[in-house]
Amino acid sequence: MSATMSRTFLKMNGLGNDFVVVESKTAPFEPTAAEVRAICDRAGGIGCDQLIAIDPPHGPGSTAYVRFWNSDGEESGACGNGTRCVGWLMMRSAGLTEVLLDTKGGLLVATPAGENRVSVDMGEPRLDWRDIPLAEEMDTKGIELQIGPIDNPRLHTPGAVSMGNPHVVFFVDDAANAPVQRDGSLIEHHPLFPEGVNVGFAQIAARDHIILRVWERGAGATKACGTGACAALVAAARRGLTDRKATVSFAGGDLEIEWRTSDGHVIMTGPVALEYTGKLP
């Protein structure tokens, strides 16, 4: 692994959604897809849902440029829980009360929200079918997709949202028994989504409470997904199922999500944890 050898990393997590974080401010970090898979491999590597690199800023105004890779080796445009972890790390190391993180999915602003808690302004959700993207024109409030028998589908008419990465959100009666493992990969690779898609299974517990499970593109079922929580709240609010602010609960804990009326931005607040540091193999 010539591109990664002897690199120091930090193992971090947000609600159990875990990351290997590498700072590359002094030397380029360009792992191959095979190296990403090896690092993320829980059996033979360090083990994580995503690999994150913190690069020098690409332009004026930002604190750093942040890159994300899924465990399948593919680069991703955004990662909400990972952005919270990076924001916390950079604010702590530099003594800042705000950091601007430039990503493939856009500029994100992180601020402290209590002890080991961070809020991230995830920007405006993208709701046009071309923004997701979809393979054909559809109303993203409820797209024409069903899974299962045509006369009695298990899942149907999800909302579609881009939070810098593509999401579909199915509304289910019981998230605990949703067919995440059965149907997640099938939906991720459905021809309607030319770039693949993250798949949410959202149970509306109250107008201010969503219970969510997510199949992440390139990573599979994860304990939490920050952009998935944002997408679920937006999709639910668009359908009138919730208000524009709600707690989104995962197996690993809760995120507070608000879709502001003032500017249309989505604000995600939740905890971060630093587990340990080490050297890449």
48 is an active site residue: no
Domain containing residue 24: 8-123+271-279
CB proximity list for 62: less than 8 A, separation 6 or greater: 100, 101, 102, 107
* Residue 246 belongs to some domain of the structure: yes
Which among 40, 48, 85, 225 is annotated as catalytic? 225
| Statement to judge: residues 165 and 205 lie in one domain | yes
User: pTM higher than 0.85 for the full model?
Assistant: yes
Which among 40, 79, 85, 230 is annotated as catalytic? 79
The pLDDT of residue 89 is 96
The Cβ-side half-sphere exposure at 3, using a 13 Å CA radius, reads 13
| Statement to judge: residues 169 and 105 lie in one domain | no
Q: Nearest CA to 219 among 109, 70, 91?
A: 70
pLDDT above 80 (res 5)? no
| Statement to judge: residues 63 and 172 lie in one domain | no
Please report how the helices 226-238 and 80-94 are oriented relative to each other, as an axis angle in degrees rounded to 10. 120
* Residue 140 belongs to some domain of the structure: no
The pLDDT of residue 15 is 94
* Residue 249 belongs to some domain of the structure: yes
Q: Which two tokens stand for residue 258?
A: 């608000």
What is the average pLDDT score of the chain? 94
The pLDDT of residue 117 is 97
- What is the count of structural domains for the chain? 2
CA distance 46 to 21: 11
Q: Which of 21-30, 36-45, 195-204 has the lowest mean pLDDT?
A: 21-30
79 is an active site residue: yes
